[in-house]
Amino acid sequence: MARARIRELVVVHDAACAPCSRIAQELPGCVTVRVRARSCREPRLAEIYPNLPADVGSCRAPAVGVLRTDGQVRWWAGMRGVLGIAPVLRPGALPTALRLLRETVVAARR
């Protein structure tokens, strides 16, 4: 079975939280694919991404969605987001990506 390629990443974060918003600004520099930032407060977010975990849609946790070329999205909530971005990280970008995820997760818990 052939592996589906990653088309883009979708980052769902709390846009009202300044530390949480940093991931949307800085993650694109860490990866080789497009990053689409979405606020967990968007009213139609659950319609757009029906398989979005409930805790992400209610702003209790950030998430990285991996949009594959076949149109499917796989979600990685919290620190597990690093698993989703690992295949598309730029060389040397892992420490920055981990810092961004950690800061976002910690801020979302407050």
Domain ranges of the chain: 6-109
Residue 32 confidence (pLDDT): 96
pTM above 0.85, yes or no: yes
CATH 1.25.40 fits 6-109, yes or no: no
Per residue in 42-88, pLDDT tens? 999 999 999 999 888 888 888 999 999 999 999 999 899 999 999 99
Averaged pLDDT score across all residues of the chain: 90
Per-residue b or e along 20-32, where b marks 16 or more CB atoms closer than 10 Å to that residue's CB? bbbbbeebbebbe
36: left (phi > 0), else alpha (psi -120 to 50), else beta? beta
